[in-house]
Homo-oligomer: A and B are copies of this chain.
Amino acid sequence: MIFIRAFSRAVRFQRKIFGEYSSSLCLQQATFRDILSAPEGPEGAVSHLRGSSLKVLGCREFSSWALPALYSVRHQIHQQSNSYVEEQLDPFSLVADELSILANRLRAMVVAEVPKLASAAEYFFKLGVEGKRFRPTVLLLMSSALDVSTHEPPSKTIENTLTTKLRDRQQCIAEITEMIHVASLLHDDVLDDADTRRGIGSLNFVMGNKLAVLAGDFLLSRACVALASLKNTEVVSLLATVVEHLVTGETMQMTSSSNDRCSMEYYIQKTYYKTASLIANSCKAIALLAGQTTEVATLAYDYGRNLGLAFQLIDDVLDFTGTSASLGKGSLSDIRHGIITAPILFAMEEFPELRVVVEQGFENPSNVDIALEYLGKSRGIQRARELAKEHASLAAAAIDSLPGNDDEDVKRSRRALIDLTHIVITRTK
């Protein structure tokens, strides 16, 4: 039974890579063993698989995002235990079907009465520009990872009904989280005068600042209506606080003093507000809806918080090491906008003279070059990666600390959540 499930999920995963209409020959040709046996390392594994791939709008981005890291994780696991590999799956594929349903529901949820507002609100929910769907994936996996059958249900039918109802409510949290996330992106792009997002023109660039502000407000209000429908005021409060954190983080970034910009503590606090709070508190909301104990809800929060911090630290590293094409935005965009992140902060610890450059700002491009020179001869990038790894480990430890459970689905989801911590720190885009 587990084998059949694992196989059907493997097929779904391959469909994600090769397209919904890939031939059975194609399915036979490319298996997980192909990823693991690709000789040229992670990039090789991707091109190896991509050789016969059909272009699937919307799936391409996250597949290519997940695969190199997956290769690395698999590679380690493969070396440890061959038998374990068959059961390991891409975390995204575990919830792929549900993600599709969720994407459709999201599109239905953001329909607005006024045509222009409708176009603006649905802009980043359209097929192909939905992003990596990282947050909904985490939340759906967290939903499965937290077992709810703590006592014997009156009957199997009632148990199924309750489980379905809970799952619907947890899916709703995933949808609300995406709406809040996209709303914050829309407003952030207005604030940053950004012209691209997810490889296409930003909404403010395409439809103007005004509609981008309104569309953000609209998504927040729809998220709030959806939250109210869950009829759990603790969850409403939790996610409303997240919106406040997003705003606080953005303001911290925008209004920081020279001292603030040179402080690691300030940077971590800002990163929590801007990135980690959303995933941390929505993970907690998933646990609360399931009626979990405070301890379990805190572990869910810890997972989200540390995963979020690791994610952002790597994002900040990639801003220095990535390329425009793979990032979907200009490389070095942070430092060019005067935003100081972990790699530079660590470099500054080694070379205190870098602080003078940071204090001067980066309007003068030669200051960017000087900072990069210091960064290059420092261990800044390496230490930022190490800090990300520490947070990834803490996230994994939170999952390991959850009360023991023998259910195969629960165990699989927990493994997938741990896999995600590796994917986050080994990704190259």
Which A residues lie at the B interface, using CB under 8 A? 112-117, 187, 190-191, 209-211, 213-214, 216-218, 220-222, 224-225, 227-231, 233-234, 236-237, 240-241, 243-244, 246-248, 250-252, 254-255
Contacts and interface: CB of A to CB of B under 8 A. Distances in A.
A187 B217 contact: yes
Nearest to A237: B228
A240 B255 contact: no
B248 A117 contact: yes
Contact of A220 (B114, B217, B225): B217
Contacts of A213: 187, 190-191, 213
Given A224-B236, A225-B237, A236-B227, A214 B244 contact: no
Given A228-B237, A233-B233, A247 B217 contact: yes
A228 B285 CA distance: 14
Residue picked from A209, A214, A227, most chain B C-beta under 10 Å: A214
A251 B220 contact: no
A218 B233 contact: no
A231 B231 CA distance: 9
Nearest to A217: B247
A243 B224 contact: yes
A48 to B, nearest CB: 45
A253 to B, nearest CB: 10
Contacts of A250: 214
Contacts of A218: 244, 247-248, 251
B248 A114 contact: yes
24 contacts: A112-B251, A114-B251, A114-B252, A117-B255, A187-B214, A190-B209, A190-B213, A191-B210, A211-B255, A214-B247, A216-B217, A217-B220, A217-B247, A218-B244, A218-B251, A221-B243, A224-B224, A225-B240, A227-B240, A228-B233, A228-B236, A228-B237, A228-B240, A233-B236
